[in-house]
Chains A and B, each alone.
Chain A
Amino acid sequence: MTAAQPALHVVGTSAPRKDALEKVTGRAVYSTDIVLPGMLHAKVLRSARAHARIVSIDTQAARQLPGVHAVVTGADLPSHVMPFYGYFIKDQPIVALDKVRYVGDIVCAVAADSEATAIAALRLVRVHYADLPVAASIERALADDACALFDEAPMGMVPGYGVGASAQLRPRKNVCYQFNYRTGDAAAFAGCDHVFEDEFRFSRMTHYHLEPFVSVADVRGDAIGLWTSCQNPFPLRKELARMFKIPENRITVQVPFVGGGFGAKNNVKTEAISVLLSMLTERPVRFCLTMEEGFLTNTQHAAILRLKTGVMADGRLVARQSEILLDAGAYSDGSPLVAEKAGYRIPGPYRWEHLDTTCQCVMTNTAPAGPFRGFGGTQSSWASESQIDMIARRLGMEPYALRMRNLLRLGDAFVPGESGIDSDLREGLDVVCKEIGYHQRQYDNSGTVRRGMGIAIGFKDGGGVNKPAQARVKVSTSGDVFLQCGTIEIGQGARTALSQITAEILGVPLDKVAYAPINTDYLPFDQGTNASSGIVVMGQAVAKAAHGVRNQILAFAAEQLGVAAAELQMGNGLVIHAGKPHPLAPMVMRHYGGTGFEFSADGFFKAPSDHRAPLEAPCVFWEIGWGAAEVAVDTATGQVTVLKLVASSDAGRAINPAMLKGQEDGAAIMGLAQTLFEHMIYDESGRLSNADPLTYRVPLAEDLPREFVTITQEQGHGPGPFGAKGGGEGTILPIASAVANAIHDAIGVRITRLPITPVRILEALMTNPETNQESAP
């Protein structure tokens, strides 16, 4: 993998994005821009109660309002429609059936000539509810006397797992899924010099993608046309086919540019309602959510993580037993998958003898939680990298030394049966330590403002699980290249990076490659734009397709020229033999006639299945995020100022350095926001206090640390094209723990819950006798 590579011309350059002109001139088309003739507008009525039975709904007056074309409640769903959707567990109804389970649950949907008419109609709907007890927190939902969100088990499945991993559906009331992982022997704890038990709490953010959830459905007869802001159109198509009993080849999903996803825009969100209303009205229907509704549609998982970690006095990590509780919200959505990953990643990048992990998805009367950048790795890194630091202090060791002693080596299997780590973890840690001056830190902390530094290594398995990707590359007579694959451009730069890979292999300039619009009828299948898999999984499929079509062209040219294909090179619409260029076009015309020809090849990639791997296929690549923070803490007010933040990932080989840097920057700032202030504030009644864009604080330019450095390492061990690894999530992972570790370094106080607010800092300072301040406040 580190063999000398030929010089690269396109890959490795910070080429301007292929969508740059469109986005900077406003010509880019998003799903919010789609307008069809005769299009109606959908709006929904949402529950203001967190948990209640629906006693009755009266929609008479709503139906009669001029301009209203359809009104749908649970009672109006056509009998052939399967009303439930979800990932592993199909528990979320298109509209509420017998009960509402969270503030925001959809009760009634209307399609009308205008949004104003739809809203006016919904105002006429009368609903009678019978309140049920609310369980708006993990603790409340798990209490013995908690009211069950689901009286009956929804349809659900547990996928096959490999060695050490297992899962159950509904192990107990208000837990929809539990993932387990075990390796080694629990007796390992008995041999430990110390066993430390700590609890950590992770907060909950909303994705806050600027483009809202939106879809336009156009149902004609038994065919569905759909435009939607969606990260995984093929699984969406499959889900809609199942729900509406329409064959997949009668459903066409198109996805224009997506204005931010971060994991929110997967599977069914607005689509079931827009499709249903289009079906009923026989008109195209647009269903676009406000940002306030978006907050109530999908969120990150809050979590409680309890780690029991056994170590030796010399700092060797031995055993970890973890109990993780994820707040899944009212419907399962992607929670089982997040549970798999939070549970799987809790060991961090370290060597262990024994691991025993359970991760449960707890149903609460709050908005459904689902995929969110980091996907369980954020939660697990927060807990694990905080505890590693705590353990080091308790043992009297430097946090750096404890990590160095236990980090896995390049090539070491993460756990038995898994693929080997493909980054040098120590090398990476040294990069951030050097940048921030970690080993040289020395402060006069005798005043009110105290400084400190912290480091952390965020960790996740990247590339998805058992994930297939397919791609097609076509080349026309004139050397124009068509790249056709289902990876969605959500801002991460997939269009550009995958085009760069294609251009490099075919020896053409980047602007010769056109990335096909997303249309499930014409593109090869893709499971979804997620898990930082674009470069490593789809990238490998794309590379294979590009190599395939290159070979086809060379084989054709070889035959035409009467030479061996091995003697030929390709570049820029030319085939080169012994230094002499031969344009492709004339050869094609001679052979195929005046109408020309297209060369075409497919590529497929999937990590081979292997039952020895706990998740049934070894991890494709390891996504590491090293972080370091320097903070100043004002002990009089608890305010934390981040003086310097360093975040680094290992790209293996960066396909487009500038584009990757943007992703690393964005992920790190998202992580910093979660650390210090950004969170959804739910109260015990299930109401969201900061449910709107004004009170839900997201980071602005003024929230950047004084110094902010992201470093893209290219250690060169990646399995992707040209030695690449994936990216986009690595640098969100270590930020919270790096900052918490820095704060501890500064003031000797450990904060184990997010966000780390001035209030929590001051409270901790007051209650910690070692650090309690003298004299007047």
Chain B
Amino acid sequence: MSDPAALVNGVSEYPVRVTLNGVVRTITVPVERTAADLLRDDLRMTGTRVGCSRGVCGACVVLVDGVPAAACSMFAFQLDGCSVQTIEGLAQGGRLHPVQQAFVDQGAFQCGYCTSGMVLLTKALLEHHPRPDRATIVEWISSNVCRCTGYAQIIAAVEQAALRLAGGDDA
């Protein structure tokens, strides 16, 4: 049954070495384990929220090598060798990341369930487009669902964060 040319050969478990919020973690996972369950259940990072479990709502978005990805849509083994940032990894030494601060300042959340995903999505957006126009912001934020806010305050938060990260001092 074994095929010498195959890189991985019918394994049922996988040793994952992932840099999670800057810290290397190693854990062996069953192949069918999702990244969301690895983060939430195995590594107790419950800030990653699971909503629709099928990649539509984006509540579970984390950054995998800087790319926003729905953790429910990835297998845990796919995180091997990757650098993953969850919401818990944003604030540094008790100081909120400018995106987090902008969300607080603009009241860009209510029930908070979509917030982790939205904040990380925003961070990725601003890394791709440091000076996004409104159309780009709207297009990116349309990747995730928020049922509470009606999005206007989220868009304002993204605009504020863009200014802060670009070094502007406007409120």
Contacts and interface: CB of A to CB of B under 8 A. Distances in A.
B160 interface: no
Nearest to A28: B112
A407 interface: no
Interface residues of B, number: 51
Tell me the dominant secondary structure on chain B's binding face.
loop
Contact of B110 (A24, A493, A708): A493
Interface stretch (B4-12, B76-84, B96-104, B162-170): B96-104
A260 B155 contact: no
A661 B107 contact: yes
Contact of B142 (A21, A32, A702): A702
B56 A659 contact: no
Contacts of B154: 701
B90 interface: yes
Most interface-central of A30, A212, A260 (chain B CB within 10 A): A260
B138 interface: yes
Interface in B133-156: 137-139, 141-142, 145, 147-155
A693 B52 contact: yes
Tell me the dominant secondary structure on chain A's binding face.
loop
Given A25-B91, A33-B46, A211-B49, A259 B54 contact: no
Given A24-B109, A666-B149, A29 B46 contact: yes
B113 A26 contact: no
A24 B103 contact: yes
A63 to B, nearest CB: 25
Interface in B46-72: 46-54, 56-57, 59
A25 B54 contact: no
A262 B110 CA distance: 12
Interface in A332-349: none
B96 to A, nearest CB: 7
B111 A25 contact: no
Given A24-B104, A24-B119, A662-B107, A257 B112 contact: yes
Given A209-B147, A260-B147, A19 B112 contact: yes
Contact of A211 (B106, B111, B155): B111
Contacts of B147: 207-210, 260, 262, 666, 670, 698
Most interface-central of B53, B54, B111 (chain A CB within 10 A): B111
B113 A290 contact: no
Contacts of A259: 49, 111-113
A692 B54 contact: yes
Most interface-central of A20, A29, A262 (chain B CB within 10 A): A20
Contacts of A466: none
Interface in A24-40: 24-30, 32-33, 35
A208 B116 CA distance: 18
B155 A491 contact: no
A704 B138 contact: yes
B151 A704 contact: yes
Nearest to A656: B107
Contacts of B45: 26
Given A210-B57, A257-B112, A658-B107, A25 B51 contact: no
Contact of B49 (A30, A290, A492, A704): A30
Contacts of B119: 24
Given A23-B109, A26-B116, A257-B112, A662 B46 contact: no
B107 A210 contact: no
B111 A210 contact: yes
Nearest to B40: A33
A14 interface: yes
A702 B112 contact: no
Contacts of A27: 47, 88
A492 to B, nearest CB: 7
A20 B109 CA distance: 8
Nearest to B145: A698
A583 B166 CA distance: 46
A32 B145 contact: no
Contacts of B20: none
Contacts of A602: none
A84 B142 CA distance: 42
A33 to B, nearest CB: 4
30 contacts: A16-B107, A20-B109, A24-B115, A25-B91, A32-B50, A35-B41, A209-B147, A210-B57, A210-B111, A210-B145, A210-B147, A211-B51, A211-B113, A212-B51, A491-B109, A493-B110, A658-B107, A661-B107, A662-B150, A666-B148, A667-B150, A692-B54, A694-B56, A698-B145, A699-B151, A700-B142, A700-B151, A701-B141, A702-B142, A708-B150
Given A24-B104, A210-B59, A665-B151, 10 more contacts: A210-B113, A212-B51, A291-B53, A490-B111, A491-B109, A662-B149, A662-B153, A666-B148, A700-B145, A701-B137
Interface of B: 40-41, 45-54, 56-57, 59, 86-88, 90-91, 96, 100, 103-107, 109-116, 119, 137-139, 141-142, 145, 147-155
Interface of A: 14, 16-17, 19-30, 32-33, 35, 207-212, 257-262, 290-291, 490-493, 658-659, 661-663, 665-670, 692-694, 698-702, 704, 708
